[in-house]
Amino acid sequence: MINLLYRNTYPLTIAILFYSCAGTQPEWVNQLESDSIYIQGVGVAPKSDKNYREFAFKSAESEIARQLNVEVKSSTTREKVVDLSKTVKDIYTEFVQTNIQQSLKEVKKIDEFQDKENFYVLLGLDRKKLLERKKEERLQALEEIQDIMESIRTLKIDEQLSSLNRAMGIILKKDILYEKNNSNEFLYTNIKSNINKRISDLTAELENSTLTYNPLLQNKVTVPLSIKYKGVLTKALPITIILNDSLVGISLSNDNSITDIIVEPINNNDQVVRIMLSEMIFGIDNNLYIDADLYLGGFLIRPVIGDLDIKITGSLVEEQKQRIKSSIEQFLLTSFQYEKSTDEKTKILVSIERNDKPRFSDNYPYASYCSGAVIITNNSAKNVFKIKSHKGVNFESSNKAFDYAINELCKIVNISVIFGSN
């Protein structure tokens, strides 16, 4: 009995010894205790995965990044004094994530373990080194902002805005939103006020708030304006032109005299033009770190026709001439603003051509075409529009066929085409 028992337990003893040689599972695999030296993260990956070590390391780094994120959010929640717009919050969040990824480069491996199924790794980020680096970056950032604020008064307005915006970027990048200046103001709030104050002192001045143009003779409107800072003509600044909420151009203001901007109307209605300060003024990367109102001024452009002098020429009877004249007049007066003018008339000369086609046989109708041109002039401009060829048919005579062609010409939709394109 004794020999038999000894023989049965011998293999078990060997197995226990073999298992011990594989290594004892460390406590951090199941429960990670808080550590005063490191911000720690545990990663685990099944060894059946091809790149299990890489997966485990990334998992541990993600856990450390999560803890760093919690610290940032805790700080942000605690200090709800600085008002950030959604756009700036997005920028700030992006900087925070970049800083966290930068910090992860300092992570080092503390320990690793593996069993038959899984690979485990313990990574750590040195708390002391992290705090020292952040402190050094904070002091450097504050010194840079102080230098910017001290030199701001010697700069031109565009350089001032660019420098202030750069200071705002430093605040967001280095996560010092809640730092205060010597006047116990938050740096972010103070610089934001400085930027907004300077933009509010910039204006686009125009002689008239409403500019009229003759849509039959002009497809572009030249608008003179002056960009001033505190009422004085300022150095050349980048501006954007917005027509009915659509960007139509970027220009540079004239620092010596009037700035002429050119606007191309896009329809026959009143259109609003806004002059905005271009974000290019804030630096090469064009990142504006606050939601500033960049509006400098605006005006209305209005299509207006004056008194009409319409003449019809061609092989037409008087009734046909009057019909064409009335149709054109009705179209113009219902399509555009009208203002009575004693100084200038819009002269419209409509030249009609007739082209009769021979009949194929007695069973076919007569066919006739009318076409021509519209010449529009005033004291300073001239424009020519083609009249598309219109067909008329009639079984009785070519005269009636031509009259039907004139009817086609007089349809509002066809007159619209005549005046709608050169």
Residue % of the chain over a pLDDT of 90? 60
Is 381:217 a contact under the CB 8 Å cutoff?
Answer: yes
- What average pLDDT score do residues 15-23 get? 38
pLDDT at 167 over 70: yes
pLDDT tens per residue, range 304-341: 888 899 999 999 999 999 999 999 999 999 888 888 87
- What average pLDDT score do residues 225-230 get? 93
pLDDT tens per residue, range 131-145: 999 999 999 999 999
**256, burial (CB in 10 Å: exposed 0-12, middle 13-18, buried 19+):** exposed
Higher-confidence position of 283 and 403: 403
pLDDT at 17 over 50: no
Confidence of residue 294 (pLDDT cuts 50, 70, 90): very high
- Distance, first Cα to last Cα, the chain: 118
pLDDT at 75 over 90: no
pLDDT at 229 over 60: yes
* Residue-level pLDDT at 371: 95
Alpha-carbon distance of 330 to 326, in angstroms, equals: 6
Q: Is the dihedral of CA 97, 99, 104, 107 positive or negative?
A: negative
Instruction: Give the phi and the psi of residue 202 in degrees, each rounded to 5.
Output: -95, 135
DSSP labels for 27-83?
Answer: GGGT-PPP-SSEEEEEEEEETTSTTHHHHHHHHHHHHHHHHHHHHHHHHHHH---S-
What does each C-alpha distance from 316 to 107, 260, 406 come to in angstroms? Answer: 93, 46, 10
Stretch among 19-23, 202-206, 417-421 having the lowest mean pLDDT: 19-23
* Residue-level pLDDT at 361: 84
Which residues, including other chains, have CB under 8 Å from residue 356's CB and lie 6 or more apart? 366, 367, 368, 369, 398, 401, 402
pLDDT at 422 over 90: no
Average pLDDT score, the chain: 87
pLDDT tens per residue, range 360-392: 888 899 999 999 999 999 888 899 999 999 999
Confidence of residue 9 (pLDDT cuts 50, 70, 90): very low
Alpha-carbon distance of 233 to 256, in angstroms, equals: 8
Element (H, E) at 229: strand 221-229
Instruction: Give the phi and the psi of residue 340 in degrees, each rounded to 5.
Output: -65, 135
Instruction: Please give the sequence-ordered ranges of beta strands (E in DSSP) within 131-220, or none if there are none.
Output: 202-206, 210-213
Backbone region of residue 283 per phi and psi (left: phi > 0; alpha: psi in -120 to 50; beta: other values): left
pLDDT at 205 over 60: yes
Element (H, E) at 163: helix 157-173
Other CB atoms within 10 Å distance of the CB of residue 191: 26
Alpha-carbon distance of 164 to 195, in angstroms, equals: 7
Contacts for 9-16: CB closer than 8 Å, 24+ residues apart: none
pLDDT tens per residue, range 242-284: 999 899 888 999 888 889 999 998 888 899 999 999 999 987 7
pTM of the complete model: 0.74
* Residue-level pLDDT at 207: 87
Is 265:301 a contact under the CB 8 Å cutoff?
Answer: yes
- What average pLDDT score do residues 196-213 get? 92
* List of domains in the chain: 202-282+292-304 (2.60.40.10), 307-420 (3.30.160.180)
pLDDT at 39 over 70: yes
Alpha-carbon distance of 321 to 324, in angstroms, equals: 5
Q: Quick check: helix, strand or coil at residue 88?
A: helix
Q: Which two tokens stand for residue 412?
A: 């509002």
pLDDT at 28 over 90: yes
Nearest to 277 by CA among 302, 298, 258: 298
Q: Is the dihedral of CA 168, 169, 172, 175 positive or negative?
A: negative
Is 365:394 a contact under the CB 8 Å cutoff?
Answer: yes
Residue type, 8: N
What does each C-alpha distance from 274 to 243, 257, 267, 406 come to in angstroms? Answer: 7, 20, 17, 44
pLDDT tens per residue, range 76-124: 554 455 677 888 888 888 999 999 999 999 999 999 999 999 999 999 9
* Residue-level pLDDT at 143: 95
Residue % of the chain over a pLDDT of 70? 91
Confidence of residue 13 (pLDDT cuts 50, 70, 90): very low
* Residue-level pLDDT at 88: 85
Which residues, including other chains, have CB under 8 Å from residue 173's CB and lie 6 or more apart? 95, 99, 141
pLDDT at 342 over 80: no
Q: How many CA atoms lie within 13 A of 150 on its CB side?
A: 6
pLDDT at 401 over 90: yes
